[in-house]
Structure 1
Amino acid sequence: MFGPEAANHGEFNLLHYWRILRKRQLTVVIFTAILVITVGIGTALSTPYYAAKATIEISPDQPTVFDVEQVADVVSYQGGSERRAYYTTQYRIIQSRTVVGEAVRRLREEHGVTDFDDVEDPVRFFKRHLDVQPELDTRLVHLVVEYPDPEKAALFANTLAQAYMDANVDRSRQVTMDALGWLREQQEIYRQRKLSSDESLKSFEYVNALSQHQAKVEAKKRLIEAWSQTRAERVSLQATYERLSQQVRGPDWLAVAVNFSAENPVLGQLLEDHQELQQERTRLAARYKEGHPDMKRLDHQLAGVEAQIRDQVDEALNARKARLEAVTAGENALRQELESVTAEVQEYERKLVNYDLLKDEAAKNADLFRSLDQRLSEVDLSKLLTPNNIWFIDEAVPNYDKVRPKLSTNLPVALLVGLLGGVALAFFTEYLDSTIKSRDDIEELVGVNFLGAIPLLEGPELSQLSEVDRNLYVHARPRSTVAESLRSVRTNILFRLPDRPQRRLLVTSAAPREGKSFVSSNLATIIAMTGSRVLLIDADLRRPSQHKLFVKDNEFGLSNILVGDMSPSDAIRPTHIPAL
Structure 2
Amino acid sequence: MAEKTLLEYWFILYNRKVIIFVITLSSMITAGALSKILSPVYEAKAVFFVPKEPDITTFFTSPDEIMARSPLMPTSNEEPHGPYIGILKSKTIAGLVQKDFPHKTVENLMRRDMDFVLSDEYLLEVYARDNNPGLAADIANAYVKYFKQLMGEYSQMSQSERQATIEEEIAKNEKRLSRAKGILKAFQQKNRTANLDEEIKQLISMKTTFESQLENAHVEYHENKNKMLAVKRKLKDEVRAFETSELVITSPLLEKLRAQLVDIEAKMATLRVEIKESHPEYMTLKRNYEEIKKNIDKEIEIIIKSQVKAPDTFYENLRRQLISLTIEKEGIEADIKGTRQVLSGIEERIREIPKLRNQLDTFVSEVDRYKRLTDTLKVNLEEVMAQTKRAPQVAVLVEDATPPAKASFPILWLNVMVACLAGLAGGVFYCFFVNYLEETREKRIYRLWKVLKSIQE
TM range (shorter): 0.3 to 0.5
Asked which structure has the greater RCO (Cα within 8 Å, sep 6+), the reply is 2
- TM-score, normalized by length of structure 1? 0.34
Select the structure that is richer in helix: 2
